[in-house]
Amino acid sequence: MHEEEVLGKAYDARLMRRLLHYLRPYSANVAIAFVAITAGSAASLAQPYLMKVAIDRYIAAGRVDDLDRLAILYLVILVVAFAAEYVQTWTMQLTGQRVMFDLRMSIYGHLQRLDLKYYDRNPVGRLMTRVTSDVDALNDLFTAGVITIFGDVFALAGIMIIMIGMNWRLALVAFSVLPLIVLVTQWFRRSVRESYRVVRGLIARINAFLQENITGMATVQLFRREPLNFAKFDHIDATHRDANISSIFYYAVFYPAIEAISSLASALIIWYGGGRVMQSALTLGALVAFLQYSQRFFRPISDMSDKFNVLQSAMASSERIFKLLDEPLEVKTPERPVKRQKPVGHIIFDRVWFAYTDEEYVLQDVSFEVRPGQRVGIVGATGSGKTTLINLLLRFYDVRRGRILVDGVDIRELDLAELRGLFSLVLQDVHLFSGTIADNIRLGHSSIDDQRLKRAASAVHAEPFILRLPEGYQSAVAERGSTLSVGQKQLLSFARALAFDPRVLILDEATSSVDTETELIIRDALHVLMAGRTTIAIAHRLSTIQDMDKILVLHKGKLRESGTHQELLAHRGIYFKLFELQYKSERQQEPLELRTQNSA
Ligand SMILES: Nc1ncnc2c1ncn2[C@@H]1O[C@H](COP(=O)(O)OP(=O)(O)O)[C@@H](O)[C@H]1O
Ligand SMILES: [Mg+2]
């Protein structure tokens, strides 16, 4: 079952306490709303009573002058009711919006700090639902839920007391329809709750489906999966529609049923009360007031059973939100991080073991050293754990056993932001944000001025293509940089890396998806980038790392060989075999990885 489909209790004290915590900053608003609701309910309770007084005391007695005064009083009460409702709606909506804002900010803040491990387990679509519709559901709780239910209960109790006070026999007659109401309401609540649960689950599925298929539209079109995916979506969408339609049925039955029962109550009141009036045991005014009260009695009942669902889904939403907020952060800055003087970028992997899931170790007992200024290449088959090394060095994940030292300090004892600030990472798949070219190089660091920006771009040969764009550095980048070529994005990411002037440069297959001509430009750019810095370069193509100071060969999670290009060739081991393979295929004019890409 989807997390979205679980509907818990309508009222959960533990959750409610946490929710109220979010209301605390706005307690003044809430207090005002309470007063307004109480005033509004009282005003609406007073109206039928005034009617009774008007009929019995003045109209029946022919005292027209006093009737004027009463009419004015009635008018004043109407104005009070109006004002009260206005104040209530305004303050509650205002509070709801502010609480939603706070909640969204704290969810987003938490998402930013959560470990990548969490993102491995949770699809994007579901996390989006937390920040959007789950928060919306909570807003309903504040605006339409808790506080107005208080108003409803207040009105119901008030009406019952007044009716019993006016004539308890007639009140009993009017209340005789209550068992019917209870039955209908129970049926409605149970049925709607079920279809509501199904609808929520389906919305989550629609989100997840769309998220996956819209981002993957190119693949969908390439593999001509349109009809298949259309049919899939058709199915989910139709189920969603039908679930909604069935809940519409319950609503369509429920409201008229309540209406009918309320009319039945009126009929009973007229039948019994009319008789009492004729026997002079009841005044006409009281009868009229009774009729009005009984009408006002049924509205809150039907409202409340609807709000019950709101409450329930809000509780379920808050359960999910709090679960996200309670998700512990494993990778974080320690209480007292070690402060260092000038970082030099000296890296040591000391018997590092790591597994993404339970006991499937993707790195086993890996040890190596990268000295300041040294350039180290890492090679190995796909899946041998190269990227994982980087993930650990940047603390996207923490090691299971062993330790990683940067400048002699275990990275778990360093300030996280400070640690990451040492590195620039260039990936094969460059992530661009919407904004301008300049924004994407600078990434919000205003310390990088225009001059530094341009120097970085021209050093990595990115400037020529940038200047060819319609507005140069100020040209807009489409979402995920879809209007730029892979090579252009790569050059941008080099410019980004250089502009940040990091101590350590890390390249993860940064050049493997560009053509030969661009690669030549990039290789030149790389030399500029690497000058005077510690560099770790992961590469498919051995040619790009041949002249490195040291090459590490990773095989199935183990560090099997290390040395210079010449040393490794002389060793005639894994590296030698890899080299031979690539050398052969390059003689056949086409690099190995290009061929595998074309055939995909
Ligand atoms: N986020 C992840 N969750 C679980 N397993 C992963 C994750 N990332 C990578 N792996 C697994 O870890 C192994 C090493 O992956 P990786 O370091 O990316 O290899 P390489 O970069 O050498 O191609 C692979 O078997 C891969 O399936
Ligand atoms: Mg990789």
Q: Where do we find the tokens 């804002």?
A: 101
Report which secondary-structure segment, H or E, holds 420.
helix 416-421
pLDDT-derived band at 244 (thresholds 50, 70, 90) equals confident
How far, in Å, from the CA of 95 to the mean position of ligand 1? 46
Q: Ligand 1 atom 18: the closest Cα is on which residue?
A: 387
Query: How does residue 16 score in pLDDT terms, banded at 50, 70 and 90?
Result: confident
Ligand 1 centroid – CA 364 distance (Å): 13
pLDDT band at residue 359 using 50, 70 and 90 as cut-offs: confident
Q: For ligand 1, atom 14, which residue shows the shortest CA distance?
A: 385
- Rounded to an integer, the average pLDDT of 232-259 is 90
- Residues 560-574 pLDDT 10s: 999 999 999 998 999
How confident is the model over 361-412, as pLDDT tens digits?
A: 999 999 999 999 999 999 998 899 999 999 999 999 999 999 999 999 999 9
Query: What mean pLDDT is predicted for residues 88-113?
Result: 92
Q: What is the pLDDT at residue 194?
A: 79
Q: Which of 171-175, 364-368, 458-462 has the lowest mean pLDDT?
A: 458-462
| Structural domains of the chain, with CATH | 10-326 (1.20.1560.10), 343-422+539-600 (3.40.50.300)
Residue 427's pLDDT band (cuts 50, 70, 90): confident
Interval between CA 542 and ligand 2 midpoint (Å): 15
Ligand 1 pocket, mutate which of 114, 357, 388 (most atoms under 8 A from CB):
388
| CA atoms of 404 and 388, how far apart (whole Å) | 13
DSSP state of 329: P
Residue nearest to atom 20 of ligand 1 (CA): 383
- pLDDT classification of 599: cutoffs 50, 70, 90: very low
Distance 229 CA to ligand 2 centre (A): 30
Q: What mean pLDDT comes out for the span 141-148?
A: 73
Residue in this structure with the two tokens 């360093």, named with its chain if needed: 414
Question: What does the mean pLDDT of the chain come to?
Answer: 86
Considering 151-155, 186-190, 272-276, the range whose residues carry the highest mean pLDDT is: 272-276
The helix/strand/coil state of 250 is helix
Residue to substitute in 119, 387, 578 for testing ligand 1 pocket (most ligand atoms within 8 angstroms of CB) = 387
The fraction of the chain above a pLDDT of 70, given in percent, is: 94
How do residues 577-596 score in pLDDT, each as one tens digit? 988 888 777 665 554 444 44
> In the Cβ-directed half-sphere of 531, how many Cα atoms lie within 13 Å?
9
**Rounded to the nearest whole angstrom, what is the distance from the C-alpha of residue 129 to the centroid of ligand 1?**
28
Give which of 186, 201, 203, 207 is closest to 7, Cα–Cα: 201
Burial 315-348 (b: 16+ CB within 10 A, else e): bbbbbbbeebbeeeeebebeeebeeeeebbbbbb
Highest mean pLDDT among 142-156, 354-368, 436-450: 354-368
Angle between helices 64-113 and 13-23 (to 10 degrees): 100
pTM for the structure as a whole? 0.78
Q: Are strands 409-410 and 423-427 parallel, antiparallel or unpaired?
A: unpaired
Locate the ligand 1 atom nearest the alpha carbon of residue 381 and give its number. 22
CB atoms inside a 10 Å sphere around CB 303: 17
Residues with CB under 6 A from ligand 1: 120, 356-357, 362, 380, 382-388
Q: Does 541 or 325 have the greater pLDDT score?
A: 325
Whole-angstrom distance, CA of residue 131 vs CA of residue 136? 9
Residue nearest ligand 1's atom 17 by CA: 385
For the CA of 385, the nearest ligand = 1
Of all ligands present, the nearest one to the C-alpha of 393 is 1
Most confident region among 52-61, 89-98, 394-403, 497-506 by mean pLDDT: 394-403
In the chain, the N- to C-terminal Cα span, in Å, equals: 35
DSSP state of 131: I
Strand partners, 353: 401
Sign of the torsion angle spanned by Cα atoms 19, 24, 26, 27: positive
Ligand nearest to the CA of 362: 1
3-class SS of residue 560: strand
Q: How far is the CA of 362 from the centre of ligand 1 (A)?
A: 7
Cβ(99)–Cβ(26) below 8 Å? yes
Atom of ligand 1 lying closest to residue 389 CA: 17
Q: Look at ligand 1, atom 9, and give the residue with the nearest C-alpha.
A: 388
